């Protein structure tokens, strides 16, 4: 469910015409619906209300501080994976006591920043990281609250690039090794082991991998408690998928109820890290048609958005529905099959391939749906293309929450050494 709909064949975001936004801010532009963000958060959290829990939005999906603030206002914390994400979360007003720090490659300076901010806990991913967190905590006169990220060797049944719970993945520590490290952590001066963490992948469309992972974690928590290690938190990550095309992921209510039933009597505070589920269908990327081109074997629609704006189709062969901002329901223009491509000098620069859609003309606006997650946050300046504007719609109003980058922004921070400036 989202708040993008046609009114008299004109696409609206909530109560604002998408065309009106694009006429003001230009294209490409990411447009988000506050109503959808809030609705998704509440629907996700509702089945977990019977148990002690914290929702920590996985901000790598979409990290604009306005989006973070929308969720913080609803009581959300954040799941972060870098010092930059910590900075963003705090700037947005997220309560540091509701921040968990994941990721396999934390630098000492980033660990220090998180310790000084007094975040809830670190999700530690290796033995060497555990020792570094301990060293930094001792040096700062603090105790770092940690969970070990356990790799339960569960197949998440998702794209291999976003699978994280198998032994061959770089994430986490296998169960047997984790049990050993918890014992060592108990003797470390700067460490307080308070939780167990697990995240098996992203865009999961089956419930069984989640439940299988939880069963293995429950057994592990029982062993740890029998050894005198008090586990207070169970972080089960995120990963529940959304429907981009023909996917049919479990409804949040079914997902939540199954998990609550599975952890009954476990006596832990549950930490949940949804990302894509909250923001994916709450955002669109709007682009303008530049040219139409007929090749020997294919038709191409060339638009002003590209793989640097939305890399998911090129990286994952991901599907994003294409909606015309102004459609013709009488079908006067007919339908075509074409590749939707951008201006970047790569054959991999496509947003849709062999896609059937309503025929378009130069100047038409197209909306790539379900672009709220891993859209702007994975965008780049490849081919020296300024990054797109971001806009948040709230009822009948809209706000630019990130300015479109300028050419000057592209070279900010770059310098030509004096010796090179000198001419011979």
291 and 314, same domain (yes or no): yes
Catalytic residue among 13, 22, 198, 345: 345
Q: What does the alpha-carbon distance between residue 272 and residue 46 come to, in Å, rounded to a whole number?
A: 12
255 and 334, same domain (yes or no): no
Q: Is the pLDDT of residue 197 over 90?
A: yes
Per the domain annotation, does 111 fall within a domain? yes
Per the domain annotation, does 419 fall within a domain? no
Q: What is the mean pLDDT of residues 132-156?
A: 91
Which residue do the tokens 């929308």 mark? 70
Q: Is the pLDDT of residue 162 over 80?
A: no
Give the residue numbers spanning the domain of 18.
4-31+280-411
Q: Is the pLDDT of residue 424 over 80?
A: no
Write down which residue in 278, 309, 330 finishes a domain: 278
Rounded to the nearest integer, the mean pLDDT of the chain is 92
384 and 236, same domain (yes or no): no
340 and 206, same domain (yes or no): no
Q: Is the pLDDT of residue 161 over 50?
A: no
Q: What Rg value do the Cα atoms of the chain yield, rounded?
A: 23
Per the domain annotation, does 424 fall within a domain? no
Q: Which residues of 385-406 are buried (b: 16+ CB within 10 A; e: fewer)?
A: bbbbbbbbbbeeebeebbebbe
pLDDT in the model for residue 163: 43
Annotated binding site for substrate: 276, 312, 316, 346, 374
Sign of torsion over alpha carbons 384, 372, 269, 220: negative
Q: What is the mean pLDDT of residues 6-34?
A: 98
Per the domain annotation, does 348 fall within a domain? yes
Nearest to 54 by CA among 80, 76, 81, 85: 76
157 and 271, same domain (yes or no): yes
248 and 308, same domain (yes or no): no
CATH number, domain with residue 96: 3.20.20.10
Per the domain annotation, does 101 fall within a domain? yes
Nearest to 59 by CA among 67, 49, 47: 67
Express each pLDDT in 59-116 by its tens digit. Answer: 999 999 999 999 999 999 999 999 999 999 999 999 999 999 999 999 999 999 999 9
Per the domain annotation, does 421 fall within a domain? no
Q: Predicted confidence band at 169 (pLDDT cuts at 50, 70, 90)?
A: low
Report the Cα–Cα distance between both ends of the chain, in Å, rounded: 64
Q: Is the pLDDT of residue 171 over 70?
A: no
Express each pLDDT in 289-316 by its tens digit. Answer: 999 999 898 999 999 999 999 999 999 9
Per the domain annotation, does 416 fall within a domain? no
Ramachandran region of residue 14, left (φ > 0), alpha (ψ -120 to 50) or beta? left
pLDDT in the model for residue 364: 97
pLDDT in the model for residue 155: 57
271 and 391, same domain (yes or no): no
Write down which residue in 232, 256, 278 finishes a domain: 278
pLDDT in the model for residue 339: 97
99 and 191, same domain (yes or no): yes
Express each pLDDT in 219-235 by its tens digit. Answer: 999 999 999 999 999 99
Annotated binding site for pyridoxal 5'-phosphate: 239, 273-276, 374
Q: Predicted confidence band at 165 (pLDDT cuts at 50, 70, 90)?
A: very low
With pLDDT > 90 as the criterion, what percentage of the chain qualifies?
80
Annotated binding site: 239, 273-276, 312, 316, 346, 374
153 and 296, same domain (yes or no): no
Q: What is the mean pLDDT of residues 189-202?
A: 91
Write down which residue in 278, 298, 332 finishes a domain: 278
Express each pLDDT in 28-39 by its tens digit. Answer: 999 999 999 999
Q: What does the alpha-carbon distance between residue 129 and residue 123 come to, in Å, rounded to a whole number?
A: 10
270 and 309, same domain (yes or no): no
pLDDT in the model for residue 134: 98
Q: Is 345 a catalytic residue?
A: yes
Per the domain annotation, does 135 fall within a domain? yes
Bridge-based pairing state of the strands 77-80 and 53-58: parallel
Structural domain tally of the chain? 2
pLDDT in the model for residue 208: 85
**pTM of the predicted protein model:** 0.93
124 and 266, same domain (yes or no): yes
CATH number, domain with residue 309: 2.40.37.10
With pLDDT > 70 as the criterion, what percentage of the chain qualifies?
95
Contacts of 100 (CB under 8 A, 6+ apart): 56, 77, 78, 79, 80, 119, 120, 121, 122, 123, 147, 197, 235, 271, 273
Q: Predicted confidence band at 332 (pLDDT cuts at 50, 70, 90)?
A: low
Q: Is the pLDDT of residue 170 over 60?
A: no
285 and 194, same domain (yes or no): no
């Amino acid at each position: 469910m989202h708040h993008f709909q046609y009114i008299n064949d004109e696409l609206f975001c909530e109560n604002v015409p998408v065309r009106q936004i694009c006429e003001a801010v230009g294209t490409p532009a990411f447009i988000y619906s506050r109503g959808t963000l809030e609705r998704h958060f509440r629907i996700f959290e509702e089945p977990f209300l019977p148990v002690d829990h914290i929702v920590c939005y996985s901000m790598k999906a979409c990290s604009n501080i306005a989006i973070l603030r929308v969720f913080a206002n609803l009581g959300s914390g954040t799941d972060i994976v870098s010092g930059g994400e910590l900075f963003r979360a705090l700037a947005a007003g997220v309560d540091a006591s509701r921040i968990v720090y994941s990721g396999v490659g934390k630098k000492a300076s980033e660990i220090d920043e998180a310790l000084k901010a007094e975040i809830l806990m670190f999700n530690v991913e290796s033995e060497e990281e555990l020792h570094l967190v301990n060293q930094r905590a001792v040096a700062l006169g603090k105790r770092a609250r940690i969970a070990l990220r356990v790799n339960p060797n569960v197949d998440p049944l998702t794209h291999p690039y976003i699978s994280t719970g198998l032994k061959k993945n770089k994430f986490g520590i296998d169960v047997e090794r984790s049990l050993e490290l918890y014992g060592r952590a108990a003797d470390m001066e700067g460490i307080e082991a308070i939780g167990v963490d697990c995240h098996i992948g992203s865009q999961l469309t089956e419930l069984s991998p989640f439940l299988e992972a939880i069963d293995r974690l429950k057994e592990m928590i029982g062993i740890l408690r029998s050894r005198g290690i008090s586990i207070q938190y169970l972080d089960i990550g995120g990963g529940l998928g959304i429907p981009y095309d023909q996917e049919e992921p479990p409804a949040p209510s079914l997902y939540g109820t199954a998990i609550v039933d599975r952890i009954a009597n476990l006596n832990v505070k549950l930490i949940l890290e949804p990302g894509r589920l909250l923001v994916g269908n709450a955002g669109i990327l709007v682009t303008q048609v530049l040219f139409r081109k007929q090749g020997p074997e294919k038709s191409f629609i060339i638009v002003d958005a590209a793989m640097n704006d939305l890399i998911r189709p090129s990286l994952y062969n991901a599907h994003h529905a294409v909606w015309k901002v102004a459609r013709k329901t009488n079908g006067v223009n007919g339908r075509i099959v074409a590749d939707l491509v951008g201006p970047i000098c790569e054959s991999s620069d496509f947003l849709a391939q062999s896609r059937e859609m309503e025929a378009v003309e130069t100047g038409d606006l197209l909306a790539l749906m379900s672009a709220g997650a891993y859209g702007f946050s994975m965008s780049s300046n490849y081919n020296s293309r300024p990054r797109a504007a971001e806009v948040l719609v709230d009822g009948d109003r809209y706000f630019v929450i990130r300015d479109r980058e300028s050419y000057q922004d592209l070279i900010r921070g770059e310098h030509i050494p004096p010796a090179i400036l000198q001419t011979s």
